[in-house]
Amino acid sequence: FCEHMLFLGTEKYPDPSGFDQFMTKYGGSNNAFTSSEATVYFGAASSEAAPEGLDRFADFFRAPLFKKEFVKKEVQAINSEHQKNVQNAGRRIFQLLEKQANPESVVGRFATGNMETLYDIPSRNG
């Protein structure tokens, strides 16, 4: 969830589409993914974009806005990713392996997030 929200504005660069527009302006692209052990952010743009691009990227972690108005939209995007991945045979095999872990270990817990775990339950719980 945080992976998604970081791209949507920071204290210094509050425009929610500002980072994507900046990357496009300099012929770049960017994305991110979260695995079971790490979240990885990556991007590429022309070298002239480096100083501002790095400043914008650093501000993701220094001062993200996490605006409430984008929460449901981003949870819906995460839910769509989850639904797509449910059909992936490799993910299903990995899930079976995770279920073999010690029941007290975090390894076997649901880890990707969906509408229920990221929005419905937190909304009900305040």
Show which residues are catalytic. 3
The structure tokens listed for 76 are 């819906």
- CA-to-CA distance for 44 and 88, rounded, in angstroms? 28
Task: Judge contact between 16 and 9, C-beta under 8 A.
Answer: yes
Query: Would you say how long the chain is, in residues?
Result: 126
Q: Three-class SS of residue 74? A: helix
Q: Decide if 67 contacts 74 (C-beta within 8 A).
A: no
